[in-house]
Chains A and B, each alone.
Chain A
Amino acid sequence: METQKINIINNENAMEADILAMFKLEEFNKEYAIYSFNEEYNGKVKIYASTVLRKDDKVLFEDIETEEEWTRIKEEIKKIAVEGSKLEVENND
């Protein structure tokens, strides 16, 4: 399947990243983005999570504010990954 791309401007430098997922958590009434610059780290790959803030016509990626939020986001990421791995198995069948 095709991976979604996004231009992320960091300190006025634009970097292309793969958007892995974007979702909303109703309990915090916030949107989140999970993305990766495909950087390797000890045989693994780094993934980033940011709060999505829409301001005027711009989209800002802000830091995760609380530990509770971050824990919840990690749970959601795991859930998404589990669903994704099921899809992988179905496709291989």
Chain B
Amino acid sequence: MTNFITPINESILNGSKVIAVPNNFRLAISNSYSKYIEEVKISTNKTLESHIDGIIEKDDVIIDEAFIGAIPTEKLKKMIATNENKLASLEAQEDKNLENSMKELERIISSYKVNLELRSNISTSLNVPYDLSRKSDEELLKIKNYYLETLELMKSTGGNKETINSTLKEISKIDKMLNKEIDPSEQYYELKSQQAYLTAEMNKYNLITDEIKAKLKATTGASDEVLELSNDLEKFTGINEKLREEFAVLKDKEAELVEKNPALVKPETVEVPLIKQEVKVEKTPEEDLLTYVLETATKENERLENTISELEQVIKGIMHTISISKEQIEKNNDTIKKINNRGMEEEKIKVYN
């Protein structure tokens, strides 16, 4: 490790050695020494800082002592007491504020819970498709108010965005109901579907009551079973009665709606029997002509195809006959040649003889 020393500002040159080095070599020497100088500066500053800090700390104590000493004791006591009172008052105020805030928060939470419960109950009942339409305006207003209160609470306590949106939708739905803004055809469809639902329910309970009645008829004498069946009959008859009443209300609503909107009941909306009917469609003369041409052409094609097939058979027969005839002609020619040759020989023999 090089034992560097701090630089000097000025010197008198009396002698030196000189060498030439690459510039980067010169820079490397300079860098190394500069780092040493930086470290010296830092360490010097630190020493200076700690020295200054020491002085300030010491001076602070002196100043404080001088200040306190300069204030009369009674006045100082009063100042301290006043400050303590102020501090106590501020602390008390802060506690009170905190307590009030906590109470307010508890009230909001409790109210929120109650409303959530109410809302949940309402939502459950509203989940049944026909329930909302069976509510009176007064009931709808009550539900709407519940929703509005819940909405306010949810907003103030940073409620779930999805729940807020669904609540807003419900409120809008109720508003429409109250303002009778629902599309009549939609309302009509709703009433009809509710009636269908109620009819199915009534049928179900009719079957149940019929079954109970049959059982009651079959059971003789007074027994627990009879009592139980009677209770059931009463219960289900009661339910059925309620359903009938609801159905009647819906029918009244429907009648009222149709009266206001006669166009709702169109012949097209009447149920069409699901029987397929053969429909005879009359054709135009052009269509008739085309059909005739098509049929004739088809028949002609069939006939021609048959003829071609027959002719092919005939041609095949002729070709076969030709082939046989050719063979026969060749055979005959051979025979003729043979006969001719023999005749010539016989003539020759005759001549010799």
List chain A positions with a Cβ less than 8 A from chain B.
1-4, 6-10, 14, 18-26, 31, 33-34, 36, 41-42, 44-50, 52, 58-64, 70, 73-74, 76-77, 79-85, 87-88
> How many whole Å from A49's CB to the nearest CB in chain B?
5
How many chain B residues touch A (Cβ–Cβ < 8 Å)?
Answer: 36
Interface with A: B9-17, B96-104, B329-337, which one? B9-17
Tell whether, in the assembled complex, residue B28 and residue A1 are in contact, meaning their CB atoms are under 8 Å apart: no
> How many whole Å from A66's CB to the nearest CB in chain B?
11
Tell whether, in the assembled complex, residue A36 and residue B20 are in contact, meaning their CB atoms are under 8 Å apart: no
CB of B146 within 8 Å of the partner chain: no
Contact partners of B15 in chain A: CB under 8 A: 50, 61-64
Tell whether, in the assembled complex, residue B2 and residue A23 are in contact, meaning their CB atoms are under 8 Å apart: yes
Tell whether, in the assembled complex, residue A88 and residue B8 are in contact, meaning their CB atoms are under 8 Å apart: no
26 contacts between A and B (CB under 8 A): A1-B34, A3-B30, A4-B34, A6-B8, A6-B11, A8-B13, A9-B12, A9-B13, A10-B13, A14-B10, A18-B30, A20-B26, A21-B4, A21-B29, A23-B5, A24-B3, A44-B22, A47-B26, A50-B13, A52-B5, A60-B14, A61-B12, A84-B31, A84-B35, A87-B28, A88-B28
The number of inter-chain residue pairs (CB within 8 angstroms) is 161
18 extra A-B contacts, CB within 8 A, seeds A4-B7, A84-B27: A21-B4, A22-B4, A22-B33, A24-B3, A25-B3, A33-B11, A34-B29, A41-B20, A44-B22, A44-B23, A47-B18, A50-B11, A58-B12, A62-B14, A73-B17, A84-B29, A84-B33, A87-B31
Contact partners of B27 in chain A: CB under 8 A: 84, 88
> How many whole Å from B323's CB to the nearest CB in chain A?
106
List chain B positions with a Cβ less than 8 A from chain A.
2-35, 37-38
In angstroms, Cα B4 to Cα A19, docked, is: 12
In angstroms, Cα B34 to Cα A2, docked, is: 7
In angstroms, Cα B27 to Cα A82, docked, is: 11
Name the residue of chain B whose CB is nearest to the CB of A34: B29
Tell whether, in the assembled complex, residue A52 and residue B32 are in contact, meaning their CB atoms are under 8 Å apart: no
Name the residue of chain B whose CB is nearest to the CB of A19: B7
Contact A61-B2, Cβ < 8 Å, known A9-B10, A18-B30, A81-B28: no
